[in-house]
Copies of this chain bind each other. A is one copy, B any other.
Amino acid sequence: MAETARQIADDLRARISSGELTPGDRLPGEPALVRDYGVAKETARRALTLLVDEGLAVRRRGSGTYVREFRPIPRVANKRLAKDGWGAGKSIWDADLGDREYTVSDLQVYESEAPRQVARLLELSEGEPVIVRSRRYLVEGEPVQQATSYLPAKQVRDSPIAQPDPGEGGIYRRLADLGLEPVRFSEELRARMPSQEETALLAVSAGTPVVEICRTAFTADGRPIEVNQMLLNAGVYVMQYHLES
């Protein structure tokens, strides 16, 4: 009788990976497990919690617990290179935005002091002013990503970059207008579990990590011109990179 919750979870996991239960299917509920395995409700609950924590199942209050579905959105880091010679877009997870579209929400643009980390990356002194552009991206009404850009205020303050709408082509086009076109990018990625606030911000379901990306953009002469900190709902994204050596 030892490890009953784990045993039940193992059973259910086996039924999922065998294909008996497919994504979207309803799992046996807590009362059903209590009946079938003769355990206490809390034990049945713990079994389901294990699957939820693994990201295999999703709970819907009042309705049931379901096998999770995964239909990822591709995030292509370097679109320009992604043309051909890289398997022409072949993917293991058949990632596809399809007809879904990005919507920008909660856009905020303001001037502020550079946080310590950002100041270091931008080669600024601590507390130097930066233009901050923060926004959330939605797909089909669901928040999937939060992004905050930092640019040195002294260089972009008087440009459209400091305005909510930077105009056609976005801030990179405007940087080019200023002779500060970014041509090299450095990205750092880290995956972790979200905090409480982040869970709400990105509507992340239990058992789903987030991916934190910090991207620094450099001009042709190697000077950092923008730092972009992103937070992605990992249940929704596949990141793609194309590299040349």
Contact = CB atoms under 8 A, between A and B. Distances in A.
Interface string A211-245: 10010101000101000000000110111111111
Interface of A: 10, 13, 42, 53-55, 72, 77-78, 80-81, 84-87, 90-93, 95, 117, 120-121, 123, 182-196, 207-211, 214, 216, 218, 222, 224, 234-235, 237-245
A95 B186 CA distance: 14
Contacts of A214: 92
Nearest to A242: B186
Contact of A191 (B53, B185, B234, B243): B234
Q: Which of A90, A186, A195 has most chain B Cβ within 10 Å?
A: A186
B86 A243 contact: no
Contacts of A86: 184, 186, 216, 218, 222
